[in-house]
Amino acid sequence: DAKTTQPPSMDCAEGRAANLPCNHSTISGNEYVYWYRQIHSQGPQYIIHGLKNNETNEMASLIITEDRKSSTLILPHATLRDTAVYYCIVRVAGEDTDKLIFGTGTRLQVFP
Amino acid sequence: DAGITQSPRYKITETGRQVTLMCHQTWSHSYMFWYRQDLGHGLRLIYYSAAADITDKGEVPDGYVVSRSKTENFPLTLESATRSQTSVYFCASSDDRSGNTIYFGEGSWLTVV
């Protein structure tokens, strides 16, 4: 199964871009990369996902390397409310079932 | 309101008791999942289901039982609760397979004393 690795923690100044890396070196061609965040033990919140191309939405941008072995989540202007644990997830598809395998997560601390 | 809801949100039970955590979603999503999250750790998959009457084990299924008689419900039962099952439990659902967003409930905080 594909798995992900992330740095355990990162800091970012408010207003600056936060760049969160994720390694998924064993990812298969049909597996998507998802990013979620969790604020203080609330339910994980969906941020963005992608397969091959870079993606952008109102929350963030996702940059996936050409070989798909790593990706970076970019929060363009971090705010204090972005302080959370960010999970990079590779969605593994089986024969008839599907499951999520969470990475270790990166604790992002945004400071004033 | 539409969405995914869990009940109870908070539960204290005694060792050896049976406990059922309920999960209900209103989107008619095919896939549903149960995760547990221990204090200070990431989420671990307990069980998942691709459709009604189809369930499969995740990473940590021991001590848990699930059923999926209806698409919208995915209850998780601890048949004989143990202290090691004290955790926050998250239910999630998604439509179809890779490429679709997975939505999480707000969690059920379970304490086994």
CB distance B37–A101 less than 8 Å?
Answer: no
- On chain A, the residues whose CB falls within 8 A of the CB of B34 are none
Q: Is A86 on the interface with B (CB under 8 A)?
A: no
Per-residue confidence (pLDDT) for residue A99, from 0 to 100? 64
Per-residue confidence (pLDDT) for residue B99, from 0 to 100? 56
Per-residue confidence (pLDDT) for residue B96, from 0 to 100? 65
**Which letter, b or e, does each residue of B37-51 get, where b requires 16 or more Cβ atoms within 10 Å of its Cβ?**
beeeeebbbbbbbbe
Write down the mean pLDDT value for chain B.
91
Cβ atoms of B66 and B83 within 8 Å: the answer is no
| Closest residue in chain B to residue A98, using alpha carbons only | B97
Write down the mean pLDDT value for chain A.
88
Q: Which residues pair with B90 in a beta bridge?
A: B35
The percentage of chain A sitting over the pLDDT mark of 90, rounded to a whole number, equals: 62
CB distance B98–A101 less than 8 Å?
Answer: no
Per-residue confidence (pLDDT) for residue A21, from 0 to 100? 96
Q: Which of A48-52, A94-98, A105-109, B38-42 has the highest mean pLDDT?
A: A105-109
Average pLDDT (A64-81) is 96
B40 dihedral zone (left: phi>0; alpha: psi -120 to 50; beta): left
Q: pLDDT tens for residues B25-74?
A: 998 898 899 999 998 778 888 999 988 999 999 889 999 999 999 999 99
Q: Which residues pair with B19 in a beta bridge?
A: B78
Q: Is A45 on the interface with B (CB under 8 A)?
A: yes
